[in-house]
A = this chain, B = another copy of it.
Amino acid sequence: MTYLRDPAAIYAESFATIRAEARLDHLPEALHKAAIRMIHACGMVDLAADITGDERIAEAVPMALAAGAPVFCDCEMVRAGLIPRYLPKGVETLVTLSDPRVPALAQSLKTTRSAAAVSLWAERLGGSIVVIGNAPTALFALLEGLAAGWPRPAAIIAAPVGFVGAAESKAALVGSPFGIPFLTVAGRRGGSAITAAGVNALAGAPS
């Protein structure tokens, strides 16, 4: 079979296709690399139109990583999508979804396990990087916690996906009053791969 087998050539052709086809004009220059990686992760150049964020995140993520900040992820798929070579050695990537306290916490808080898991982040949230790629309720729980006075993360990359609460939770992030640099995807689309790709780009992955 005839197909491109050289990894560097595959990457180069992929990013060239995205640069040729995607409309990024509405995004600040500082977010173009992240947008290209997010498009690369999903195969859809029209995702660009839904990507939105605060350009300060392009500095906030590298600074937080350099300072040793932990990276909180809402699920294992997001964590698995982070490319270790672009993260500082020894960085902590944390998923609390399988913490043994979560099922009881979810019951007592009358919410999802994803949202309950976020409540376990509160103590170490100050200056951290938050990555939410799956559960809208996790993003809602984060915003509620911040409104209740939780310490503020350095950056929020959040693109939960789906038909119930995804668009709404991301709109709430965009409209939130906390002034925390963010990157998101408006609407129903999103997911672990798109979200992790955004983090990888902000952490220094080329495109």
Interface residues of A (CB under 8 A from B): 1, 3-7, 10, 13-14, 17-18, 40-44, 75-77, 79-81, 110-113, 115, 136-137, 140, 143-144, 161-166, 168-169, 172, 187-193, 196
Contact = CB atoms under 8 A, between A and B. Distances in A.
A14 B187 contact: no
B4 A165 contact: yes
A191 to B, nearest CB: 5
B44 A7 contact: no
A77 B196 CA distance: 11
A164 B42 contact: no
Contact of A164 (B13, B75, B143, B193): B13
B166 A43 contact: yes
Given A44-B189, A189-B42, A164 B1 contact: no
A190 B194 CA distance: 12
B191 A43 contact: yes
A33 to B, nearest CB: 16
Contact of A80 (B13, B80, B115, B137): B80
Contact of A113 (B7, B13, B18, B110): B7
Contact of A115 (B5, B136, B169, B189): B5
Contacts of A137: 3, 5, 10
A42 B132 CA distance: 15
A202 to B, nearest CB: 19
A43 B79 CA distance: 20
Contacts of A196: 77
A18 B137 CA distance: 19
Contact of A191 (B13, B140, B168, B191): B191
A79 B40 CA distance: 20
B13 A188 contact: no
B191 A41 contact: yes
Contacts of A140: 1, 3
Contacts of A81: 77, 192
Given A41-B161, A163-B14, A192 B1 contact: no
